[in-house]
Amino acid sequence: MTESAPPYPGGPQAPQGPPPTNNLVWAILTLICCWPFAIPAIVKAAKVNGLWAQGQFAEAQAAAQAAKKWAIIAAIIGVVWYALWATLFAVGVITYGTVGTTPS
């Protein structure tokens, strides 16, 4: 019966649990809301699985968290932007034709 050698420092290490969720779907969906902030989310999400496969577990986890952060930022800014746009549009429709008229 042979014993395997213990892992040496800097050598390959066993994964520490399942890989983190890369949040790629969430990042892609936020392209609809606010694409300038969704692009960093997609870039970070695309790196997660590659980093995990290379054994860079902390970096993979950090990339997953960054992807989630950017996707949330894009979603919030997108919702606020569309709400502001809808409000301004509604106010414009309501007040259309009332400017410059005098009551009779």
Mean per-residue pLDDT for 32-46? 92
Distance CA 74, CA 64 (A): 15
- Confidence band of 92 (pLDDT split at 50, 70, 90): confident
- The helix/strand/coil state of 24 is helix
- Confidence band of 33 (pLDDT split at 50, 70, 90): confident
Give the pLDDT of residue 9: 55
Tens of pLDDT, residue by residue over 64-90, are: 999 999 999 999 999 999 999 999 998
| DSSP, residue by residue, 38-82 | HHHHHHHHHHHHHHHHTT-HHHHHHHHHHHHHHHHHHHHHHHHHH
Mean per-residue pLDDT for 52-68? 94
